Amino acid sequence: MPTAGRATLAQFLIEERRRAPEATGDFDSLVTDIALACKAIARRVAHGALQGELGSAGSHNVHGEEQTPLDIASNEIFLRATEWGGHLAGMASEELELPYPIPSHLPRGKYLLVFDPLDGSSNLDVNMSVGSIFSVLRARTPGAHAKLDDFLQPGTAQVCAGYAVYGPSTMLVLTIGRGTHAFTLDPSLSEWVLSHANLRVGPSAREFAINASNTRFWEPAVKRYVDECLAGVSGPRGFDFNMRWIASLVAETHRILMRGGVFLYPRDSKNHTRHGRLRLLYEANPIAFLIEQAGGMASTGYSRTMDVLPTGLHQRIGFIFGSSEEVLRIEQYHRETPGM
């Protein structure tokens, strides 16, 4: 076989569909469309400097964040690749204030798609890994135009979640609720090939990721946890930790899925109008689904992330995930030393 006996993404989806004889194939087609969007974005990212797409686009998204040309291009790629197939009732993107309606001349389906088209785009100018994050939900009224409230479903309602990471190799990491699996893009075949089946996050860790520049804004529980890690072998934990920070959620997640660890972007006192930095629907929930399916945990610092009932399309939340023993310890510290 041209893939050395490894399953392609299409073969993987077919095998999974055989477990559900009632399935129509719509879901497989939707995932294939998403995967095509990720291929197209990978190509644009790889040629960014040559096509003049680095730097600022001179515009801001709905959150007031400066956009790059590739933010805008990636959003368009996701919309164009997935709107036409008849599988979606609507979409929501980090780059758009309101849900994107499927054009009236196109058929509508039974799923909703939420996505961050290019996570970590501030890293593009220094040639570091970036990615795309996506989540699939069931439409409340299949075949009808989705309303904003239709997207406000907890993470437990996700049908599928995943991300693509655009790094030294391009990889697509996916869960449909039966494990977390990674596919590497074979550029010679333009095929996603299963390279890491059933990824697992070990229960313990010796590595943590946090933005230490926010130390003065942390809650007491988070400061206690980080101080203990930094104390190393002479501290209460009894061993040394390494600290990492890439400023790309996709890259941080990928590292944890591949070798363990814990990631913290907790709520803090820096901005009292926000309950965190990361967006619940299209960042925290899909990553939480992937991590839980790999045996890890994902939490707000107080409770399970995927149990949170969304109240807004762009709702922000504190987010901590990774090795279960570390996440449980942080939750325990929050109970023992309540903060703001």
Residue 49 has pLDDT above 80, yes or no: no
Residue 340 has pLDDT above 60, yes or no: no
Q: Comparing C-alpha atoms, which of 193, 148, 151 is closest to residue 172?
A: 193
Alpha-carbon distance values, 237 to 8, 202, 209, 233 (Å): 43, 18, 17, 7
pLDDT at position 260 is 96
Query: E strands, the chain, where?
Result: 88-93, 111-119, 130-138, 160-166, 170-175, 180-186, 191-196, 207-209, 242-244, 262-265, 278-279, 297-299, 316-317, 319-322
Q: pLDDT tens for residues 63-96?
A: 656 668 889 999 999 999 999 999 999 999 999 9
Q: pLDDT tens for residues 201-210?
A: 999 999 999 9
Q: Which residues contact 266 (CB under 8 A, 6 or more apart)?
A: 218, 219, 222, 276, 301, 318, 319, 320
| Overall average pLDDT of the 283-302 stretch | 98
The mean pLDDT of the chain is 92
Q: What is the enclosing helix (H) or strand (E) of 212?
A: none
pLDDT at position 92 is 98
Q: pLDDT tens for residues 101-126?
A: 999 999 999 999 999 999 987 777 77
Tokens linked to 334: 């929050």
pLDDT at position 215 is 94
pLDDT at position 128 is 82
Among 37-51, 198-212, 259-273, 321-335, whose mean pLDDT is lowest? Answer: 37-51
Q: pLDDT tens for residues 209-228?
A: 999 999 999 999 999 999 99
Tokens linked to 54: 């680095």
C-alpha–C-alpha distance, residues 104 and 89, integer Å: 11
| Overall average pLDDT of the 129-145 stretch | 96
| Overall average pLDDT of the 259-281 stretch | 89
